[in-house]
Amino acid sequence: METGSVALPFTELTPVSVRQSRRDARFPFSRLGTLVQRIAPRRGLIRSSAILFFGGTAARAIGFLFSVAAARLLVPAEYGLLAYGLAIVGFASILISSAPAGLASFVARYQGNPREQELHFSNWLAVISLLLAVSTVLMVPIAAVARLSPPMLLAVIANLIGLAVLQTYKEAQRGLERFAAMTIFYFLANLAQLIAILVLALFGLRNAALYLAIYGLSSVAALAIVQPVAPLALRFIRDAVEWQRMMAVARYIQPLVLQTVFFAIWFGADLILVQRLLTSQAAGNYAAAKSLANAVYLAPSAVSGAVMSRIARMPQLSLGGYLGRVLVFATVVTAPLLMVFVVFGKPLTDFIFGSRYSQVSTPLAVLAIGMACYGVYLVLAGSWRGLGKPAIDAGATGAGTVATVIIGLLLVPRAGLLGAAIAFSAGAMVQLVVIGGYTVRQVTSGRMTRIDDFMENRREKEK
């Protein structure tokens, strides 16, 4: 670029040391401000993260109220059954949860090219529909092994349908960077499930299977409300669906399926161990503590959601520094809520859940630490997914799963709910250490690159 004919402002020609000394003389905290500017991510990321955080927090707050309302409306044993059903959903929805996960990265990569975006969307939607059918059929033997009643089986299937709708819509909007629409949809889904169980309770209908079905179908109700008002900007084009492209999608999501398997085991193993090795009453208390601790990773989860689509389009030279700033930012926004749960756990749980859940505060602090580690982990995992390299997410989650299961089997019979919380948090820490080490190695070696055109590369190889 030629700059000889461009007249630069005088301040641009002033030596950095002179400008810095003048600012230091006038503003004692300018050095701190300079440091914050270097660490803080760009405003676009902060704005997107803020939308996801506040919108997602509002939606999750309503979802949390659903958990609190269900805990108060149901006896502890029934609430434990509801939590157990949700854990089964986690296992049964492995294929559905992982299938949409790569959609956002490819939609974001082709920003400004609606044809390519709809091509990827159409093939991804075809794969998701196929996997939904397979998961529904597989749910029958899973229900037999899990000893689910017919109403609970139907409720789990309802959750499979609802989860497919929820995840596909969120990933498509994430790729389009329409974060406001994404959070509004999520908020409406959670609001619908809360209103539904409150209305049913007025008529004396208080049943775990019924509440579980409502939990799953709420996203379908939200889609029926949102789509006519603000339709998704991506269309399903039947002619764009090709077997080769569908197979390329299937190959891409293979490590995501493995990661989802590990995640389902890791995230639900502690509760299942409590349910099987202790009592339903203990499971209800532990489920309440875990639902409260989930709030700790809301902020870093919002950062991760914004980073995933942005990092897919970034040039190679910017990735290392950008990721470092985002990671520091995620750590800073995670710390305050973690401290609240650690310091004020008991009075907080007594106020929210009441006297019937007397054991909630015991595992809460440890669970909060684990959720904080997992929140920071999500930023790194989302970054690598955005770069088209989800295999490290699967490897790290697998390592954390092994740690949680082994420690849980050793500690739950001896330490009860506290042992389950230690096992969960240990798994979260292992995941963070594994993906953190991988990231440092990749950054220092200079091997971080953008997402490749996966579909086109596959098609060329097949030719």
CA distances from 298 to 56, 83, 294 (A): 7, 20, 7
Task: Give the integer Cα–Cα distance in Å for 186 and 60.
Answer: 8
pLDDT at 58 (0 to 100): 85
Q: Where are the beta strands (DSSP E) in 263-344?
A: none
Contact 21, 266 (CB under 8 A): no
pLDDT at 365 (0 to 100): 86
DSSP symbols for 192-204:
HHHHHHHHHHHTT
pLDDT at 409 (0 to 100): 94
At 200, the amino acid letter reads L
Contact 102, 394 (CB under 8 A): no
pTM of the model: 0.66
Angle 44-48-50 from CA coordinates, rounded to 5°: 115
User: pLDDT tens string for the chain (463 positions)?
Assistant: 433 333 333 333 334 444 444 444 444 434 434 433 444 455 566 777 777 777 777 887 888 888 888 888 888 788 888 888 888 887 788 788 878 877 887 887 777 788 888 888 999 999 999 999 988 888 888 888 878 888 888 998 999 999 999 989 988 888 888 888 888 999 999 999 999 999 998 888 888 889 999 998 999 999 999 888 878 888 888 888 888 888 888 888 888 888 888 888 898 889 889 888 888 778 888 888 888 888 888 778 877 777 776 776 665 556 667 777 778 888 888 888 888 888 877 777 777 776 667 677 778 889 999 999 999 999 888 888 877 788 889 999 999 999 999 999 999 999 888 999 999 999 999 999 999 998 888 877 766 555 544 444 544 554 4
- Burial (CB count within 10 angstroms: exposed 0-12, middle 13-18, buried 19+), residue 325: middle
* Dihedral of alpha carbons 257, 259, 261, 263, sign: negative
pLDDT at 17 (0 to 100): 42
pLDDT at 3 (0 to 100): 38
DSSP symbols for 419-445:
HHHHHHHHHHHHHHHHHHHHHHHHHHH
Which tokens go with 62?
């309503």
pLDDT at 37 (0 to 100): 44
Give which of 239, 186, 161, 197 is closest to 65, Cα–Cα: 197
For residue 382, which phi and psi values (nearest 5 degrees)?
-65, -35
First-to-last CA distance in the chain? Answer: 41
Task: Give the integer Cα–Cα distance in Å for 67 and 206.
Answer: 14
CA distances from 395 to 12, 145, 170, 222 (A): 48, 27, 25, 34
